[in-house]
Amino acid sequence: MPTVMPDVANQTQAQTEGTLDWVGMSNIEVPLMVAAAGASERPVAAKVEAFVNLKDPKTKGIHMSRLYLLLDELSTNGELSHESLKQLLNDFIESHKDISNQAFIKFDFDYHLRRKSLISKKQGWKAYPVSLTGRYDAGTLNLELSVDVPYSSTCPCSAALARQLIQDAFSEKFAGQETVDAATMHEWLGSTEGIVATPHSQRSVAEVKVKLSENVTDFPIVELIDAVEDALKTPVQAAVKREDEQEFARLNGQNLMFCEDASRRLQHKLNQMQNFRDFWLRVNHYESLHAHDAVSVTTKGVPGGYKA
């Protein structure tokens, strides 16, 4: 005879009664296929958080294995898509009839994209940290996508100060001359004596979170990353030959940015995009002038939506 095992979650009652907003598991390690708009399916190694609420104050606990096994089924026999994420949330609630009516899931993973060089058209991989979050709350489905995009920012103040030093060096070098010979000038401009100062730039990261509009049926991961990089103009590069590096220097020089400038560029871009009904963004400039960072945070400003 098989031994009957005690089932604490079902057979015992809560010592202290109370409803709970979320109960479940965090840091579940799962390989997954991800299906996103405009990209072929690709494998990712995800860390997952899976929750349901506990609406019955007397029930001892939720059934964690049921959430885990539903997620495992998606990992082994399915793919993570807009449709399957919605289904998973439904199944979480179905598997907890009578004790739960809300569900939450969050997938964190690196999403790899092939990126072209600026001029040479070489290609290389870039890994973007992505989070996909789904939540069924009082019958309403909320889907959220967030991505971190690294880029370079060159300080406009430093650029202006460097230009002034270059002008001063010019005045000193050619003092008292009415005209300067073009060839002499060309040579001087190509020397460190001429370009006597350079502005500082820094590795920067834009963290962008969006709420997906109801009409979206595929995850717009690539669209969001492209929009951020297009607005900032100086994304970190993958494969780089000298011609690419020179173009990167030109782009930095033509897109000087304080963190406020970067935030406003993104704000402007995201406000124009129909697929996102709300956004929150945080721009981090990991300063090379300071040991601290320059940061700017903003939202779309939807009533009841994201708060800074």
Ligand X SMILES: Nc1nc2c(ncn2[C@@H]2O[C@H](COP(=O)(O)OP(=O)(O)OP(=O)(O)O)[C@@H](O)[C@H]2O)c(=O)[nH]1
With respect to ligand X, which residue has the nearer C-beta, 44 or 74?
A: 74
- Least gap, CB of 94 to ligand X (angstroms): 12
With respect to ligand X, which residue has the nearer C-beta, 97 or 307?
A: 97
With respect to ligand X, which residue has the nearer C-beta, 12 or 191?
A: 12
Q: Which long-range contacts (CB under 8 A, 24 or more apart) does 182-189 make?
A: none
* 9 counts as binding ligand X under rule CB under 6 A: yes
- Least gap, CB of 93 to ligand X (angstroms): 15
- Would you say 57 and 18 are in contact if contact means Cβ atoms under 8 Å apart? yes
Please list every residue from 268 through 287 that binds ligand X, using CB under 6 A.
Answer: none
Please list every residue from 50 through 89 that binds ligand X, using CB under 6 A.
Answer: 61-66
Number of residues located near ligand X, criterion CB under 6 A: 8
Q: What is the CA radius of gyration of the chain?
A: 26
With respect to ligand X, which residue has the nearer C-beta, 23 or 240?
A: 23
With respect to ligand X, which residue has the nearer C-beta, 12 or 76?
A: 12
Q: Where are the alpha helices (DSSP H) in 120-196?
A: 156-173, 182-189
- Would you say 66 and 100 are in contact if contact means Cβ atoms under 8 Å apart? no
- Least gap, CB of 7 to ligand X (angstroms): 5
- Least gap, CB of 27 to ligand X (angstroms): 13
Residue whose CB is nearest to ligand X in the complex, by number: 61
With respect to ligand X, which residue has the nearer C-beta, 42 or 66?
A: 66
Q: Which of 283, 131, 117 is nearest to 204 (CA)?
A: 283
- Would you say 290 and 265 are in contact if contact means Cβ atoms under 8 Å apart? no
140-161 burial: b if 16+ Cβ within 10 Å, else e: eeebbbbbbbbbbbbbeebbee
- What x/- string results for residues 16 through 55 when contact with ligand X is judged by CB under 6 A? ----------------------------------------
H or E stretch at 43: strand 42-54
- Least gap, CB of 104 to ligand X (angstroms): 16
- Least gap, CB of 100 to ligand X (angstroms): 12
- Least gap, CB of 79 to ligand X (angstroms): 25
With respect to ligand X, which residue has the nearer C-beta, 62 or 257?
A: 62
Binding site for ligand X (CB under 6 A): 7, 9, 61-66
